[in-house]
Structure 1
Amino acid sequence: MSVLTPTRGVRAIDRINPVAKLAAALLLAAVLVLTIDWVSAAVALACEMLLFLWAGLTLRVFLWRTALVWLAAPSTGITTLLYGQASGQEYWSFGLIQVTDGSIDLALATTLRVLAIGLPAVVLFITVDPTDLADGLGQVVHLPARFVLGGLAALRMVGLFIEDWRALGLARRARGVADGAVLRRLGNQTFALLVLSIRRGSKLATAMEARGFGAPIQRTWARSSTFGLREWSLIGIGLMIAVLAVVISVSTGNWNFVFA
């Protein structure tokens, strides 16, 4: 099971138009990036945890798919704790490192904000089929068909990149060149994957152009993409979570506008 492979099922969230999922995630993220305080992020994260039960993911699948977010959040928090803006009482210092009341609050807010933005984005993303997303972007948002089809082809190739990376690693190991320095091996393998990706992308673009995917015509879609009550309900839930987080943060005096 790949981290990027979408989950398919008959749950309620699987029947919602991917455009609504994208809109809800972007709406919530847009509000949370406007402030750096732990209250708004904590409120949003608490509400999201309740909604994750509705996604129908098992605990194992949820933790596996969101593993990068769980690793990135504390890493960001630790960096902010050590090198963040110093204010208030100082607890420990060493060179450029200063741990103060201000850096602790900022680290907590940053960690919670990464979780509050990243977790719903990943959960909604893994319940989206790329073809359904392309149908929604083309029929609901009315984006240019050339852009939508190109994006769909790129998303379909992500799984191939993962398989190529594994194949390159096995090939290098079979040839006895995989036991060198880690950074050097990573750089060589990344460059090889880049060359392979460019070559495959060029071939795919040529094939799609030859089949008329880039023609300047009014394109029809094989499957209809609808946007109704379920989709507006999901967007409304995202809006309510964002508003609740802002109201509680402002009422408690913790709202910290980033552009102030």
Structure 2
Amino acid sequence: MIDSSAPVGQRLLARRNPVAKLAAALILSVLLLATLDPVAPAVALAAELAAVPLFGLRYATVLRRMAPLLLSAAGVLVTLVLFAAERSGAVLLAAGPLTVTTGVLLTALGLALRLLAVALPGVLVFATTDPTDLADALIQNVRAPARFAIGALAAFRLVPLLSAEWRLLAMARRARGVDAGRNPARRIQQFAATSFGLLVLAIRRGTRLATAMDARGFDAGVPRTSARRQRFTLADATLIAGAGGLGVLALALAVAAGTFRPLVS
């Protein structure tokens, strides 16, 4: 959540145009995808973490939102270190069948850090952007079709309901005596069944919402007006340019350090 008690200077980036924030995140992510080395994503990740207060967010909040991604990055790191087919470079650790080399470690670190560096801007953008403002900005600043923008707004609004419906499904199963206990196979089976039930509920809710929106004229094809004006200012353009500059700087530092490894050689 945004810390509303924070000074205006600490919410400087949170107040930027939603399209500008989204474009900045996309540009930085695309630039970071150009290399497999760990230096470029490490530089970008350090800059992103330093910018967290400017979005009016607490580090604890960001850490909580990034928890699944941290687990994924750790999984990528461990999996590559243990099962990588190519083990180039100097040997750092040799313990029976496990051999860790500098090449494997650099590749694993590069992928794990890149995952975090690419995902963090998206977390910051969507944590500080009102869905209605995003839809308005897409229509006004990008000239996106109203049907697409309003559909994205509806989907954005429905995402928080998924966690509540997951809890309801889990409680309903426990009320009927369906409990996996400590059996891992039954836990996996119950997870799959609950996931399928959630998918069915989401499809039904989406169908009802689409019908209701059509009934209210959201697809009438007539020109629409916006109640709130979303202005694209020089500060918004500066944010986009700054994100591009950060990506270029990270790649330049990787080249200077001699670790740059292009994704497509």
TM normalised by structure 1 equals 0.91
Please name the residue that 1:31 is paired with.
31
Q: Matched residues in 2 for 1:250 and 1:44: separation?
A: 14
Aligned AA (1:200): R
Q: Matched residues in 1 for 2:26 and 2:227: separation?
A: 28
- The answer to whether the 8 A contact 1:81-1:99 is kept is yes
Aligned AA (2:30): A
- The answer to whether the 8 A contact 1:83-1:103 is kept is no
String of CA shifts for 1:73-102, please: whole Å, max 9, x gaps. 12111112223332123444777x653221
Please name the residue that 1:230 is paired with.
235
Q: How many residue pairs are counted as aligned between the two chains?
A: 254
Q: 1:250 aligns with which of 246, 252, 255?
A: 255
Compute the displacement of 1:62 (Å). Answer: 2.1
Aligned AA (1:120): P
- The answer to whether the 8 A contact 1:8-1:14 is kept is no
Please name the residue that 2:41 is paired with.
41
- The answer to whether the 8 A contact 2:48-2:121 is kept is yes
Please name the residue that 2:219 is paired with.
214
5+ residue gaps in structure 1? 1-5
Q: Matched residues in 2 for 1:15 and 1:48: separation?
A: 17
Aligned AA (1:21): K
SS of the residue 1:99 aligns to:
strand
- The answer to whether the 8 A contact 2:3-2:56 is kept is no
Alignment of 1:76 with 2:81, yes or no, is no
Q: Matched residues in 2 for 1:175 and 1:141: separation?
A: 50
| Aligned positions of 1:40-189 closer than 5 A | 40-84=40-84, 85-90=86-91, 91-92=93-94, 98-179=99-180, 181-189=186-194
**Runs of 4+ with >3 A deviation:** 6-10, 89-95
Compute the displacement of 1:28 (Å). Answer: 0.7
Q: Matched residues in 1 for 2:171 and 2:95: separation?
A: 46
Please name the residue that 2:199 is paired with.
194
Compute the displacement of 1:210 (Å). Answer: 1.1
String of CA shifts for 1:177-229, please: whole Å, max 9, x gaps. 13361011111111111111111111110111111111222222121111102
Compute the displacement of 1:40 (Å). Answer: 1.0
Of 236-245 and 177-186, the range deviating more from structure 2: 177-186
TM normalised by structure 2 equals 0.89
- The answer to whether the 8 A contact 1:35-1:256 is kept is yes
Computed over aligned residues only, the root mean square deviation of the Cα atoms, in angstroms, reads 1.9
Compute the displacement of 1:29 (Å). Answer: 0.6
- The answer to whether the 8 A contact 2:52-2:59 is kept is no
- The answer to whether the 8 A contact 2:14-2:56 is kept is no
Q: Matched residues in 2 for 1:112 and 1:233: separation?
A: 26
5+ residue gaps in structure 2? none
String of CA shifts for 1:25-69, please: whole Å, max 9, x gaps. 111110110100111112112222221222222232121122122
- The answer to whether the 8 A contact 1:83-1:98 is kept is no
